[in-house]
């Protein structure tokens, strides 16, 4: 089955630093990738949609200058949390849409970010 790899699975960083999270589709080309955020005991909220080779589309309330998304190839999208603060501590999870026919979204295993 299709596999989406997300790295790192856990990261702890100091306030003010930046963290990069990678999302890779391992055995298919992903024209579109989605980034979600999940606070403890809450639902997954869509942050942004990224299409390969174009700028990401951010959901209302998500700061595009803080959460930088790059989708430079059909197999890799990155989310960079810039100048992280403790309130950015969350579970970030990506999903990928296979190019071509409609298919279920495949999710990465998520990244648990803790900002101290």
Partner 1 sequence: AQKVTQAQTEISVVEKEDVTLDCVYETRDTTYYLFWYKQPPSGELVFLIRRNSFDEQNEISGRYSWNFQKSTSSFNFTITASQVVDSAVYFCALSRRSGYALNFGKGTSLLVTP
Provide the binding-site residues for partner 1, judged by CB under 8 A: 32, 34, 41-46, 49, 91, 93, 95, 97-98, 102-110, 112
Q: Which is nearer to partner 1, 4 or 81 (CB)?
A: 4
Distance CA(8)–CA(13), nearest Å, equals: 12
Q: Exposed, middle or buried, 20 (CB in 10 Å: 0-12/13-18/19+)?
A: middle
Q: Which is nearer to partner 1, 84 or 113 (CB)?
A: 113
Least distance in Å: CB of 76 to partner 1?
18
């Amino acid at each position: 089955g299709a596999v989406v790899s997300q790295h790192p699975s856990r990261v702890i960083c100091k306030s003010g630093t930046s963290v990069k999270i990678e999302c890779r589709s391992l055995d298919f080309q992903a024209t579109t990738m989605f980034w979600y955020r999940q606070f403890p005991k809450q639902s997954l909220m869509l942050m942004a949609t990224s299409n390969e080779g174009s700028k990401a589309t951010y959901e209302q309330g998500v700061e595009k200058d803080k959460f930088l998304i790059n989708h430079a190839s059909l197999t890799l999208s990155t989310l960079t949390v810039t100048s992280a603060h403790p309130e950015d501590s969350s579970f970030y999870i990506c999903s990928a849409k296979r190019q071509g026919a409609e298919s279920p979204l495949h999710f990465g295993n998520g990244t648990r970010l803790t900002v101290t």
